[in-house]
Chain A
Amino acid sequence: MGKFLVRRLLQIIPVLFIISFIVFCLVFVAGDPVALMLPEDASQEDIEQLRESLGLNEPFHIQYLTYMAGLFTLDFGESFRYNESALPIVLERLPATIELAIAAMVIAIVIAIPLGIWSATKQNSPVDLLATGGSVLWKAMPNFWLGIMLILLFSVTFGWFPVSGRGTFMHLILPAITLGTGIAAEMTRLIRSSMLEILNQDYIRTARSKGIRDFFVINKHAFRNALIPVVTITALQTSTVVGGTLITETVFSWPGLGQLLIQAVNTRDMAIVQASVFVIAFIVILMNLLADIIYKVLDPRIKYN
């Protein structure tokens, strides 16, 4: 296990290297930020001067090498907008995003596990039809639309929750529901189909033949087996969750990484974009690593050598 961890952690380095290259290329292709940074009536001279001071007149490979040199010391350069080093700004926003993501995952798990198990054990019953139909409907609902509808209903009409921003627990609820129920919809279907498959396995019949109560047959013998594919797919979807966070944060003006990234893209604040994507990539890789570890804990058949 220790060796496996070290190897997996070392694998992160080339992955991050490739990702940073792709991000650099994308930002490079996206165009010149200078035009956006200066007022419309700025002279050509001013533009040239700013370009030079930012190192933007250098050829591609020189810019890339400068960027990479900075990367080794985790220096993504200065934000054009904040005039500060980019990484600390990004890291400062991270806790808000993590808070939202965790709250959403809690909601997703609390809904999806019981509902998925229930609808699998009562296949084709009204509960099952409602759960599967509901999850398709929910999955089809765009995050931003659901978010706006929740704001309209619960914040504007009823005034129960704040419209936007972060601060109290009440601020967290609507964005967490927006993000979490979407994840729950997908997870419910996954758990259901996984459970259905497991419930037909021979060892479930063995468990029943021992006289074990249905509750334990389902929750001990079946659920742990059903969880294995669910964990894998959920971990692979971390990037989808991150995508959802970007949208949800924008809708709710949640001061997280997503909101920062979207603003940075709009203002072509290269340093922030690069630092944010780098951090997000790092998180996604970590989540996948975590999934592998959980996998190992759940399934004794898996060996990492």
Chain B
Amino acid sequence: MSSKDKIEVAPSLSDTKDLHKTSSSGEVAIRFDNVVKTFNLYKNDRGRLLGIFNYKTRGAFLGSVNANDGLSFEIKKGEAVAFLGHNGAGKSTALKLITGVAYPSSGTVEVNGRVSALLELQAGFDQQLTGRENIGLRGQILGMSKAEIAELEPKVIEFAELGLYIDQPMKSYSSGMKARLGFAFAVAIEPEILVVDEVLAVGDRAFHRKCIDRIREIMMDENVTVLFVTHSNNTAKEFCSRGIVLDKGKMVFDGSIEDATKFYEENY
């Protein structure tokens, strides 16, 4: 891997502060090996249709973008890692590859453990079904048994604090309410890998506090790996022990969170 010698690697993560989660076992939770994710961009849908037949008409095919360009890193089980980088740096694409909804164009992504993703909390619910039914639906999608869902349901409902609305169709929810339910579900299923994509800005202050507390609680469990995507250095410092800085799909820094945020502030 050639980019390895270009990036600075901090000598050790062991000297980070104690309030961070530093414990990690030797097991690998996530491994990226020279991952490239390419998006082909077309001017319009007609261009995309022609693209099916590999017919790249001039003007319709605008070009390709490598959202992730040769990413290689390893995250151990139990680590809490922040992904830093400005918009379009490839953070969300990397998270999508980890959650398994997108596939790399080349290279390999290896993920060990149940992933719970907090990607766009408002999305991902069926608007016709009620909040309670959506909990059951998601539980079933994740392959839980009826007993597990029955156990999960009160936990989610209690955390989300939606009152009577839990039995109303989700189309009647406000965006904040959807986010509450989404968050409540994602943290209730006891994930092994928790992916948090800039979602902590939602909800009122009291709920925000509650979310932060819950995430911290999850992070204290040494078997849970947490990936955090943010622009805010303070949130990153508060939660994570390691930082990875991305720029134009490439990894430009990997090290302790202090060094990473410093590097990010100085260079971007």
Do A and B come from the same complex? no
Question: Interface of B with A (CB < 8 Å)?
Answer: none
Chain A residues with CB under 8 Å of chain B are none
